[in-house]
């Protein structure tokens, strides 16, 4: 076990592990497991299951990954369980309709990106990290095995889930495979002999099913810990790429820093608690002071975790410059080929946005321009079908407040 942390008093360990937690079932069980772990010098097995339905992670995912890291730093083994098999079912948690299943190839492709980004948070030593795929034990199961598993839980208990209850009352169909999902996820805990399972608050029911199934399989029930869903930069919805209110784990340091500077004041305490290790007394002092200083501290603490060597003074200067309407010095440059020009020798603005990676398609670029989201050399550009001349020194195109690219003519 980790020599630095393993000798912390149990109360201190529990205080670390309880930070930011919504549900803990139960604290007595956790204390007992931690005490036995120390007595026997045997690390706990801490499970996090993830269906890789999307390949990109953001700070909302980092909340639970940081809790895993805390277990690692206390010397325990965390199990990153990739639900390659369950993703083909589609987790119905929180969904108002049946979720489209993925193919096994899709889930495994997403998993590669998912795991690579998890490494930004988790320690990689083999004694504290175990990677597993639930297809190992679920794919070989036969029909008789599924029937035996289904006999362990009643329909009435499954239908206690809020999302199932709402769908029934609204006359929205529930497919049989969705009813099996909580059992399938719960069986993962049996297969892994998990001591603890982590999840978001939307996973409480599924994780408690795992706790119940372990009893049925004569195992000691796992401790269930849930963490809140991080609210996004819009201040109203959970962080989500689809809502464009997210901070990506792979955002460049200056971009991550700038986005953290824009966290709504009302969410500062939440972000400090869930994304930093600052003591609660220091957080309280920061929140009692000027919000700008609190934002600077938050941006530095979180960005430094992902980019220990980043020049955060430069990131702050860049943010302040952009906030005043300026153009940063260090921005990406792109050489534009003459083949991208039209007959008049000018370059369609939408095409330049795509070439610079500011938009994924011409249609998206034109919509951005229509919505007044493009500037050229600091001035609004409002013609979705318009084109630009590119002088020898180039032009700077800007999407939104802080996405820049310098477009240079082909030499």
Closest CA to 244 of 3, 58, 4, 6: 58
Helices (H), 119-220: 135-138, 143-150, 155-158, 162-169, 176-192, 204-216
Place of tokens 């495994």: 108
Q: Could you tell me the CA-to-CA distances from 297 to 293, 311, 345, 402 in Å, in that order? A: 6, 14, 48, 20
How far apart are alpha carbons 323 and 332 in whole angstroms?
A: 19
How far apart are alpha carbons 126 and 194 in whole angstroms?
A: 17
What is the torsional sign of CA 205, 211, 213, 215? negative
Q: Could you tell me the CA-to-CA distances from 163 to 92, 104, 240, 261 in Å, in that order? A: 8, 26, 20, 35
Q: Could you tell me the CA-to-CA distances from 150 to 138, 142, 177, 220 in Å, in that order? A: 13, 13, 11, 20
How far apart are alpha carbons 182 and 317 in whole angstroms?
A: 49
**Neighbouring C-alpha atoms within 13 Å toward the C-beta of 326:** 11
Under a CB-based contact definition with an 8 Å cutoff, are residues 221 and 214 in contact? yes
Distance of alpha carbon 47 from its chain centroid, rounded? 17
Count Cβ atoms below 10 Å from residue 168 Cβ, excluding itself: 12
User: Angle at CA 121, nearest 5°, toward 254 and 87?
Assistant: 110
Under a CB-based contact definition with an 8 Å cutoff, are residues 85 and 102 in contact? no
What lies within 8 Å, CB to CB, of 109 at 6+ separation is: 55
Angle between helices 253-260 and 291-306 (to 10 degrees): 150
Report whether 372 belongs to an annotated binding site.
no
How far apart are alpha carbons 24 and 345 in whole angstroms?
A: 65
Give the tokens for residue 224.
């269930």
Q: Pick out the residues of the known binding site for ATP.
A: 241
Q: Pick out the residues of the known binding site.
A: 241
């Amino acid at each position: 076990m980790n020599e630095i942390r393993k000798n912390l008093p149990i109360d201190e360990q529990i205080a670390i592990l309880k930070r930011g937690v919504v549900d803990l079932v139960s604290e007595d069980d956790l204390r007992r497991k931690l005490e036995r772990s120390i007595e026997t010098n045997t690390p706990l097995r801490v499970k996090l299951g993830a269906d890789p339905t999307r390949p990109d992670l953001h700070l909302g995912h980092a909340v639970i990954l940081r809790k895993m890291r805390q277990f690692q730093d206390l010397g325990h083994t965390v199990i990153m369980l990739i639900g390659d098999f369950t993703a083909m079912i589609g987790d119905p948690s929180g969904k108002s309709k049946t979720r489209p299943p993925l193919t096994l190839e899709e889930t495994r492709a997403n998993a590669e990106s998912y795991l690579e980004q998890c490494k930004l948070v988790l320690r990689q030593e083999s004694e504290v990290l175990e990677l597993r795929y639930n297809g190992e034990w679920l794919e070989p199961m036969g029909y008789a095995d599924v029937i035996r598993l289904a006999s362990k839980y009643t329909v009435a208990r499954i239908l206690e889930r809020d999302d199932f209850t709402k769908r029934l009352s609204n006359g929205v169909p529930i497919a049989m495979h969705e009813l099996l999902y909580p059992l399938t996820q719960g069986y993962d805990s049996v297969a892994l002999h998990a001591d603890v399972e982590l999840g978001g608050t939307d996973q409480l029911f599924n994780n408690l099913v795992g706790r119940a199934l372990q009893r049925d399989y004569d195992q000691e029930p796992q401790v269930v810990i849930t963490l809140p869903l991080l609210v996004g930069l819009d201040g109203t919805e959970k962080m989500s790429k689809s809502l464009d209110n997210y901070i990506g784990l792979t955002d460049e340091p200056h971009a991550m820093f700038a986005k953290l500077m824009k966290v709504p004041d009302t969410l500062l305490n939440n972000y400090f608690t869930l994304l930093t290790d600052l003591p609660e007394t220091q957080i309280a002092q920061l929140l009692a002071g000027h919000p700008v200083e609190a934002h600077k501290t938050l941006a530095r603490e979180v960005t430094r975790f992902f980019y220990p060597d980043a020049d955060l003074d430069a990131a702050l200067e860049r943010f302040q410059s952009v906030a005043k309407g300026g153009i940063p010095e260090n921005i990406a440059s792109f050489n534009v080929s003459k083949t991208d020009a039209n007959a008049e020798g000018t370059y369609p603005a939408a095409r330049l946005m795509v070439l610079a990676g500011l938009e994924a398609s011409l249609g998206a670029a034109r919509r951005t321009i229509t919505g007044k989201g493009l500037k050229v050399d600091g001035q609004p550009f409002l013609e979705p079908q318009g084109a630009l001349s590119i002088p020898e020194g180039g032009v700077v195109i800007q999407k939104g407040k802080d996405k820049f690219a310098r477009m240079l003519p082909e030499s």
